[in-house]
A and B are shown apart, each in its own frame.
Chain A
Amino acid sequence: MRAVCISAAQTVTGLGPDLDSLWRGVLNNESAIRPLTRFATGRYRSEIASWIEGLDCRNGVSGIHLLLERLLDGFGPVPADATLITASTKGCIDVMESINGGGTGDPAEVTMAHLLDRISGRFGLGSPGVNINAACASSTIAVARAASLIAAGRNEAVLVVCMDLVSEFVFSGFSALQALSAARCRPFDRNRDGLTLGEGGAALLLMSRERAQREGRPELGLVAGWGSANDATHITAPARDGCGLIQAVRQALNRASIGPEQIAAISAHGTATLYNDQMELTAFLTLFGERNLPMNSIKGAIGHTLGAAGGIEIALGLKCLEERILPPTVGMREPDEGGEGFLSCSAQPINGSYLLSTNSGFGGVNAAMIISRGEG
């Protein structure tokens, strides 16, 4: 197996147009969650989200294009032989809303092939690529797929682009499922009462370490291990015993050839729903025991960005390993039972080389990614 490195990473979130602004924001306990103006929220359980100015669907043109422009402008060169993998649950959902509501919009935009073509064309890539749709674990699985292709020697470079918007479509759905918090979400808090949606994107360039070194590209971090599993329990709720997440993390540990004691920090999914966060704590206690292991969730800062969540969290994880600091769990006041020793309202030091990032989603999906510190 070949070593896989991440040689470029960028994000766009409610906290700012790049990874540095995201890093500064979460480190300072800031939150981009605020009242929504994109659509009327009067009939929903919440009126807030972490949203990005200017991403409204205008004249039938999806806001995701502007998101991608902001994300990819200045991203840097991508090798022409790179394969493209995108991660999005709903793509140009705002165009579908417009058309279905009697408004304008290009029906072609509703297909993911359209987005793939645009991104592929922007970088002059030779193949159209694929979009991964695995609910809220989409981008973690996309990065895993990219790493797998490179590790097996099938590709030298893979560009992963992750994105999802805050739309009324999704907002109304989580509201109907009684999953939205009326106030800013409080991941892993004893009194949490639901999630807050967010929008954003992440772009990651994965390369074989050898190729990156040969081309003099930076090594922001290494993808050490990955895993994915279905808990086979429920469509919209996690298995209470965390069996799927435990299986995914164990796969990732095996792939990385490390033991659980070598994990130095966890970037958890932490949606702030009652069942998700409890499931994660159960899984992590099973996997790591009760040792003090820094863990956080950034969803109180940038909301739940759905198919982009894992990509944003991996990009931020690289920064965490570089700075050896895990930002606070924004929004949490008092850790839930079992979370003491893991979670903090303040930044925590990272004493080690490996960071575990996990995501779970509808359809019983669980995904785990282990990244390690790069050499700069």
Chain B
Amino acid sequence: MEVFLSGIGWVTSAGFGWGKQGGECTLADLPLRSPSRKEVFPEPNQRFGRMSDYSKVGLGAVAFALRDAGLETWSTKRTIGVVVATQLGCLVTDLDYHRSVLLEGGGLASPNLFAYTLANCFLGEAAIQFGLTGSSVAINEAREGLDSLCIAIEDLAMGEADTMLAGICDLAVPEAFAGQVTLLPGALFIVLSAAPNPATESYGTVTLTDNGLLYNGLAVASLIELVQAALAGRAAPTHFDKTLQPRKP
């Protein structure tokens, strides 16, 4: 199955942006700052300020990816699906919320924080903000976003949606859980479609094979590697494997 990559957006500790704006997408082991409302949305947005940091980071990257793909503005809801891979999900929000439970025997538990204690909730925010009515799912995996890419491509192949966003989102590992997980904080989303996106030029093609993923025919081992290859316009990741062939239809 071959699909078209037309949008890239990211919020990482090295900065934020989208592909056609220029700049590089880098995941780094540095403190991650949540984007402000003004950095994500040009117009006032009543919801953004109340969101958890996990949601702000994820929603920011979704917004930038859709902007890059020319799909940010909309008038009617669209069957666009989203799948995000995360290792720790909203653990930071969970800890914040649970601290509110520990006070006064739970009597001060915060309903607003609780609403963000599911890893998929920021996908709901994205659905509301951008009118996305496809499937929206968070998955826990440790393959650097490969599973989210596979699910997105497979959903496109099955005709579940014409366009899918696939990405990763994690905040830094909380101190009490240091050493349990190795990850670089940040969020990164790409826009994939079954046919070329008429709203913008595609970066290239992504192909799911029996042996892995190809970007423009060359093997990629993670979502960040795919994105960096697309942004660089290069077609030769360092570990190109000539044995990989596109999946037969």
Contacts and interface: CB of A to CB of B under 8 A. Distances in A.
Partners in one complex: yes
Interface of A: 40, 42-44, 89-90, 93, 96-97, 99-101, 107-108, 110-113, 116, 128, 130-135, 141, 145, 148-149, 151-152, 154, 168-169, 172-178, 228-236, 243-244, 247, 251, 362-365
Interface in B94-140: 94-95, 97-99, 101-102, 104-107, 109-111, 114-115, 117-121, 123-125, 127-128, 131-140
Contacts of A90: 94, 117
Contacts of A148: 154-155, 158, 160
Given A116-B140, A133-B89, A363-B120, A251 B160 contact: yes
B94 A169 contact: yes
A97 B98 contact: yes
Given A133-B138, A232-B124, A244-B133, 19 more contacts: A43-B106, A107-B179, A110-B91, A131-B140, A131-B141, A133-B137, A133-B139, A133-B140, A134-B136, A168-B106, A176-B114, A230-B134, A230-B136, A234-B124, A235-B121, A235-B125, A236-B115, A362-B118, A365-B124
28 contacts: A90-B94, A96-B91, A99-B176, A100-B102, A108-B180, A111-B140, A128-B141, A128-B142, A130-B147, A133-B119, A133-B120, A148-B154, A149-B154, A152-B154, A152-B157, A168-B106, A169-B101, A177-B114, A177-B115, A228-B137, A230-B124, A230-B127, A230-B136, A235-B115, A247-B79, A363-B121, A364-B127, A365-B124
A132 B139 contact: yes
Contacts of A97: 98
Nearest to A129: B141
Given A134-B136, A176-B111, A96 B97 contact: no
Interface in B18-45: none
Contact of A172 (B101, B115, B128, B135): B101
A175 B99 contact: no
B143 to A, nearest CB: 8
A232 B140 CA distance: 23
